[in-house]
Amino acid sequence: MVERRVTVGWAEGLHARPASIFVRAATAAGVPVTIAKAGGNAVNAASMLAVLGLGARGGEEIILATEDHGAEAALDRLAKLVADGLEELPETV
């Protein structure tokens, strides 16, 4: 399993618009990715309801993971998106 630990950069956390941006990026990654709060259960990162259900707040650590060992670059892009709290999807996602 490959994983990245990252601090949520959106001040409001992964709610509404930030969650939508993240879910679109996770779907575009082309590999199955999970997201979890530290110590919590992992959920499908491509599911809007699952991501919203995490209740991840700004400044909290989350864990992005995949079983696909060739997906380091995809996890790096998702981790950067979350850490930077981007308001739009970068063209390179």
pLDDT of residue 93: 47
Q: What is the pTM of this model?
A: 0.89
Residue 15 falls in the annotated catalytic set: yes
Order of all β-strands in the sheet with 34-37: 2-7, 61-66, 34-37, 43-44
Q: Which is catalytic among the residues 2, 3, 9, 15?
A: 15
Domain ranges of the chain: 2-84
Which tokens hold the place of 2? 């490959």
At residue 70, the pLDDT reads 79
* Average pLDDT of adjacent 10-residue blocks, the chain of 93 residues: 94 92 94 94 97 95 92 93 79 51
Q: Which fold has domain 2-84?
A: Histidine-containing Protein; Chain: A; (3.30.1340)
